Structure 1
Amino acid sequence: MLPPVQRRMPRRPLRRAAGGLPLRAVAPNAVTALALCSGLSGIRFAISGSFELAVVMVLVAGVLDGLDGRVARMLHGESRFGAELDSLADAISFGVSPALIIYLWSLHTLPRFGWMAALMLAVFCALRLARFNAAIDASEQPHKSAGFLTGVPAPAGAGLAFLPLFLWFVTEEPILRDPRLVAPWTVLVAMLMVSSLATFSWTSLRLRRNIRFEAIALVVFVGAAAVSAPWQTAAAACVAYLLSIPFSVRSYARVRRLRGGAATDAPAPPPSA
């Protein structure tokens, strides 16, 4: 008698759990987490009095913040989780960390008003990021559609807040550490971050074909300057960014005026029957 035939149950295909995070989204989120770690490490170095290393950590966080979005687009790993994590990391790295570093460096000698200025920098940075997240799905974004940003972005705001530190690293002038000078400057930077001023979006800029060589030469020059004189280069970059704000406001006003003229010259729709 032949043994009965054993039936093999068909194996079910393995499926990824619904709502799981794709593997390609891990890389950009890891870069964002490294930026967050770098920003928090700046606070640690500031507590120990190593202010140069503290500022370097925030600058490294800025570089990583510029990379995570590009890595996500390259790997097609954009996700809502990554967007929320990026905003949280930016609020800490470019809001909380610079505020505490500046407070420990200068503003602690003016406890009441110094802490108020540090709070404004941290909270206004968070408010700016909240406004940005709230406007992601908005259909009408005049600044973005014209290639501009609204207010000073968080990484640039952190760099501007560090301008007295950059100059102090170079000159060691005691006046640059005076909280009566640092506190108003910190408040001004905080207000620029939540302002409605149109600022240049460097990702939307396009170079002309006939100046590509000059642009490469400029990048090489800036890179060499950053290696040989980092704090002078950082201070010069902050001053150049501040000087660009009036030009960005005027450029946006011109674009808005041209758009308004084009809408006025458009023919009216025919009357409906």
Structure 2
Amino acid sequence: MRAVAPNAITALALCFGLTAIRYAIGGEWERAVAFIMAAGVLDGIDGRIARLLRGESRFGAELDSLADAIDFGVSPAIVVYLWSLQTSPRLGWICALVYAVFCALRLARFNAQIDTSEQPHKSAGFLTGIPAPAGAGLAMLPLYLWFITGEPVLRSPWLVGPWLALIAVLMVSSVATYSWSSLKLRRNIRFEAIVVAVAICAALISAPWQTLSVVCVLYLLTLPFSARSYMRIRRQRAAATAPTNAAP
């Protein structure tokens, strides 16, 4: 019974992702994006609830991956396709397919490495590539900007298609990205961190699209820093093991 609650949350996230497609078909773009965002929030808490209740299971892990493939792969691809890419069906559908399939490949790679003992990125507190929820948020960045400005150029498939393909490549790439475990706060700034978190929540409520746009840009700016941090840790580990390997 301890596994029921987290699995129910995962199923609810799946319902939210599928509902986003329904609103996209009806042309209700803001609702479609909001439901994918809600699915991302639920995805972020189901694993923590499972660990809190000690309800982790292989079934739950597989269900979570399948839900993620739909919520953050299929749903954003269809939403963006219906919003922009369908005006250029060939290019648009190729980019949508690439994004959805690459998201599934990323999740398959993650599942294949669950039981692998040697995971350099994970052991250093980093992720390999952009995680699926972050990829979905980044893929819809043109939508956020369009909500703010209404500029027709932001809806051009020749702009949105390559952007979607770029995010797909970043998801399956080997770029080291920050994870929650790699973000360690000092005791003297934890209160300030809470203040920043409250300010972000307030901004999301009052100006959601502007806030999401800023968050996406800031996240992209962290990628060079996360890659450099991982390389520094990798060099330190190599230097620490070098004398041992050189010893007779």
1:100 corresponds to which residue? 78
Question: Alignment RMSD, CA only?
Answer: 1.0
Work out whether 1:257 is the aligned partner of 2:235.
yes
Give deviations 1:167-223, integer Å, cap 9, x for gaps: 000001001000000000000000000000000002332100111121111111111
TM-score norm. by structure 2 comes to 0.98
- Among 139, 145, 151, which residue is 1:161 paired with? 139
- Among 220, 223, 242, which residue is 2:220 paired with? 242
Larger Rg: 1
Aligned amino acid, residue 87 of structure 2: T
Aligned amino acid, residue 76 of structure 2: P
2:91 corresponds to which residue? 113
Give percent identity, aligned residues only: 69
Give deviations 1:113-136, integer Å, cap 9, x for gaps: 100000011000000000000000
Larger relative contact order (C-alpha < 8 A, sep ≥ 6)? 2
Q: Following the alignment from structure 1 to structure 2, what is the Cα–Cα distance between the partners of residues 260 and 268?
A: 12
TM-score norm. by structure 1 comes to 0.89
Q: Following the alignment from structure 1 to structure 2, what is the Cα–Cα distance between the partners of residues 228 and 93?
A: 25
Pairwise CA distance, 1:268: 5.3
- Among 129, 147, 163, which residue is 1:151 paired with? 129
1:220 corresponds to which residue? 198
> Would you identify which runs of 4 or more consecutive aligned residues in structure 1 move more than 6 Å?
none
2:57 corresponds to which residue? 79
1:13 corresponds to which residue? none
Figure out how many residues of one structure are paired with residues of the other and give that number. 248
Q: Following the alignment from structure 2 to structure 1, what is the Cα–Cα distance between the partners of residues 195 and 11?
A: 33
Structure having the larger proportion of residues in helix: 2
Runs of 5+ unmatched residues, structure 2: none
1:20 corresponds to which residue? none
Give deviations 1:9-62, integer Å, cap 9, x for gaps: xxxxxxxxxxxxxx1101000000000000000000000000000000000000
Q: Following the alignment from structure 2 to structure 1, what is the Cα–Cα distance between the partners of residues 202 and 140?
A: 21
Aligned amino acid, residue 69 of structure 1: G
Q: Following the alignment from structure 1 to structure 2, what is the Cα–Cα distance between the partners of residues 147 and 265?
A: 24
